A and B are shown apart, each in its own frame.
Chain A
Amino acid sequence: MTREIVIDPVTRIEGHSKITIQLDDRGEVVDAHFHVTQFRGFERITQGRPVHEMPAIMARICGICPVSHLIASSKAVDDILAVEPPPTGADLRRIVNLGQIVQSNALSFFHLSAPDLLFGFDADPAKRNIIGLARANPQLAKDGIELRKWGQQIIEWIGGKRIHPTWIIPGGMAQPLTAEVRDRILAGVPEAIAAVERAIAWYKTDMVRWEEEASTFGNFRSAFMALVDRNGNVDHYGGWLRVIDADGKFLADRVDPHNFNDYIGEAAEPWTYLKSTYWKAMGYPDGIYRVGPLARVNVADRMGTPRADEELEKFRWRVGRVASSSFHYHYARLIDTLHCIEKIESLLRGPDILSKHVLARAQVNRNEGIGVSEAPRGTLMHHYKVDDDGIVQWANLVIATGHNNMAMNRAVLQVARHHVKADKLTEPMLNRVEAVIRCYDPCLSCSTHALGEMALRIQLMGPDGAVLDDLAR
């Protein structure tokens, strides 16, 4: 006889989901699933729209990372127009994208995950939140707020609006950068670097406390994928796709992102709206790989900026050349953030950053286009087909959380096997099952393009569907 534990929905992530844990008649975990229970369907509702509208529409997928969709969508439309944005236009897009990664990473680490790390996974949920964080470690809480605010200001000042910015358009940017905005952003760089370096120092000091979690939170062998530049450094905007195996060996390198369909397949399961992508050469479901901050630090030779490279060296000394535990997403996310800040400064100090030439104009010159960039949670792909009038006929989005779907399911199973010892639901067990999902910082709004409410309900169900246990938070 098998029984089933249901955690519905999962909290402190972006969107709506539930987790089910299957028990056998001895109370042992035999399987676990991470279900995404929401659906909106941007790929269908955009059919029939003029292609120039796509970035603005796609940005509405998510309120946390709209810039990522603007970037990938604009790049896909660039491809259809057969234009390349002028170098300054591309650099401004890079800066906005990096600003968004800073604010999103700050949300994930400081606001969503730090309470677990600071108070412990077994602490009272009434205390284990941002208010509790502010009381116990005000500097950490303040650093998170200031980093997020700085990243959002970059989006607002360069992109035109804090959420759903409008200045990133096909062909480049709608407006050039002013010296005043450049200087305002640069003025915040020293404090932003100090904030994230304080967090890294705190994390490294305390990480010994989380050794058990590091060994059981999605600690398995898999491939990793990210974009790298021509020198093998992390590239959040362009470059080539690189995929490594669990030992760091290249499965593919210098893959033109336009050819991603040759390498990546998508599978659908009846129990979730979230698609699972897989490495075609290994087939489904064996072709599991991970994307996001952990993949970026694993895949790249270097970050490409001095402070982040110094921290990357320490990271690899501590956890190995290829970190296998998903718990290390947290650590990697901080290094990723540090790199983004350094890169923003370097781009803003470029000699042509105030150039007025930021936009290339063209009409439809191709019937198909692909845009790929790194979003906070990993590699993001937009693929469109249009008719000769530029009307969208077909669209497909491959989202970071979809790349990570199989890895998240495996991580939930691993944590459940480690912590679920009986058929009675307990808070500590639930906290850890949820927390392992939170390592990936999944964005379900993005992955299914929908919104969700946050609450927690857990049910333990028998094989006939009867509720054996019920827990609500």
Chain B
Amino acid sequence: MSPGAAGTLIVGYGNSLRSDDGLGWHVVARLAQDARLRGANVLWRHQLTPELAHDVGQASLVVLVDVSVEQEPGVVSVRRLEATSSAGSAWSHHLEPESLVALARELWNASPDVFVVSVGAGSLEVGERLSPAVEAALPKVVETVISLVTEHDAGA
């Protein structure tokens, strides 16, 4: 079985017309072609929405990929969402990762391992190109996601 086989959900999200906010789109475009993730459910979304809770509810591993304005441009970090994380915003058009996981837990009794891979944004201006710092970080982001999947698969 390939590392990304059934049970892995990867969601890159953001606005592909807002420079680095489109990181998720760029990452997903690469991951979707990666044979090591064959079988994984790899999605790109503008934002996290309630209906994604269904997919989270069916997964054993969830990796969310986004940019952050709280990190230095190009810096990659991994944050594990604990199952006990309280729901963040409960706005219904888009959700914080914590709310999405809470929704899946409430409705599907799901408690997957959830990681947020984030990269410090260099530019959020109108445009389809990544800033140099985030462009340079792209391979590391891809390998970080694959490592998470591989480690999860090895521990399963």
Which residues in A have some Cβ–Cβ distance to B below 8 Å? 12, 14, 63-64, 107, 111-112, 126, 129-132, 134-135, 138, 141-142, 144-146, 148-149, 152, 163, 454
Assess whether B126 is interfacial by the CB under 8 Å rule. Answer: no
Chain B positions within 8 Å of A454 at CB level: 91, 93
- Seed contacts A111-B93, A146-B54, A149-B51; 7 additional CB < 8 Å A-B pairs: A14-B93, A63-B46, A130-B103, A131-B87, A134-B107, A141-B106, A149-B54
Q: Please, how many angstroms separate the alpha-carbon atoms of A163 and B93 in the complex?
A: 14
Residues A145 and B90 in contact, CB atoms below 8 Å apart? no
Closest chain B residue to A454, Cβ basis? B91
Q: Select which of B50, B91, B102, B107 is within 8 A of A148 by beta carbon.
A: B50
In the complex, what residues of B have CB within 8 A of residue A149's CB? 51, 54
Residues of B within 8 A of A138 (CB): 106-107
- Contact yes or no, A131 B106, CB < 8 A: yes
Shortest Cβ-Cβ A-B pairs, 6 listed? A129-B90, A111-B92, A134-B106, A149-B51, A131-B87, A131-B90
Chain B residues engaging chain A, CB cutoff 8 angstroms = 46, 50-51, 53-54, 87, 90-93, 99, 102-103, 106-107
B92 — which chain A residues lie within 8 A by C-beta? 12, 107, 111-112, 129-130
A184 → chain B closest CB, angstroms: 16
**A132 and B90 contact, Cβ closer than 8 Å, known pairs A138-B107, A145-B107:** yes
Partner of A144, one of B50, B87, B106: B50
Q: Given the complex, which residues of B lie within 8 Å of A132, measured CB to CB?
A: 90
Tell me the complex Cα distance, A138–B46, Å: 26
Query: Is the CB–CB distance between B51 and A145 below 8 Å?
Result: yes
In the assembled complex, 29 residue pairs joining A and B whose CB atoms fall closer than 8 Å, in A order, are A12-B92, A14-B93, A63-B46, A107-B92, A107-B93, A111-B50, A111-B93, A129-B90, A129-B91, A130-B50, A130-B90, A130-B92, A131-B87, A134-B103, A134-B106, A134-B107, A138-B106, A138-B107, A141-B106, A141-B107, A142-B107, A145-B53, A145-B54, A148-B50, A148-B51, A149-B51, A152-B51, A163-B46, A454-B91
Which B residues are in CB contact (< 8 Å) with A145? 50-51, 53-54, 107
Among A111, A145, A454, the one with the most B-chain Cβ atoms within 10 Å of its Cβ is A145
- Smallest Cβ distance from A339 to chain B, in angstroms? 22
**Hey, which chain B residues are within 8 Å of A152, CB to CB?**
51
Q: Are B51 and A131 neighbours in the complex by a CB distance under 8 Å?
A: no
Shortest distance in angstroms between A305's beta carbon and chain B's nearest beta carbon? 25
Which chain A residues lie closer than 8 Å to B54 at the CB level?
145-146, 149
Report chain A residues within 8 Å CB of B103.
130-131, 134, 141
Q: How far is the CB of B16 from chain A (nearest CB, A)?
A: 11
How near does chain A come to B91, taking the closest CB pair, in angstroms? 6
Q: Which residues of A contact B50 (CB under 8 A)?
A: 111, 130, 144-145, 148
Q: Which residues of chain A are near B106, meaning CB under 8 Å? A: 131, 134-135, 138, 141
Q: Which residue of B lies closest to A113 (CB)?
A: B92
Residue of A nearest to B90 (CB): A129
Query: Could you tell me the distance in whole angstroms from the C-beta of A216 to the nearest C-beta in chain B?
Result: 25
Cα A14 to Cα B51 with chains together (Å) = 18
Q: Using Cβ atoms and an 8 Å threshold, which residues of chain A touch B87? A: 131
Residue picked from A64, A107, A131, A142, most chain B C-beta under 10 Å: A131
Closest to A111 in B: B92
A141 cross-chain contacts in B, Cβ below 8 A: 103, 106-107
Determine the distance from Cα of A148 to Cα of B91 in the docked complex, in whole angstroms: 16
- What is the CB-to-nearest-CB distance from A60 to chain B, in angstroms, rounded to a whole number? 9
How far is the CB of B11 from the nearest CB of chain A, in Å? 13
Specify the chain B residue showing the minimal Cβ separation from A139.
B107
Contacts of A64 in B (CB 8 A): 93
Task: Note all chain B residues with C-beta closer than 8 A to A14.
Answer: 93
Closest beta carbon of chain A to B48's beta carbon, Å: 12
CB distance from A456 to the nearest CB of B (A): 11
State the Cβ distance, A9 to closest chain B Cβ, in Å: 13
Give the distance to chain A from B84, nearest Cβ to Cβ, in Å: 14
CA distance A145 to B54 in the complex (A): 8
Min CB distance B109 to A, Å, is: 10
* Nearest CB of A to B138, in Å: 23
CA distance A130 to B53 in the complex (A): 12
B99: chain A residues within 8 A (beta carbon): 131
A85 to B106, CA, bound (A): 46
Taking the nearest CB of chain A, how far is it from the CB of B14, in angstroms? 13
Compute how far the CA of A134 lies from the CA of B56 in the bound complex, rounded to whole angstroms.
15
Nearest chain A CB to B32's CB is how many angstroms away? 15
Bound: A149/B92 CA distance, A: 14
In the complex, how many angstroms separate the beta carbon of A411 from the nearest chain B beta carbon?
21
A383 to chain B, nearest CB (A): 27
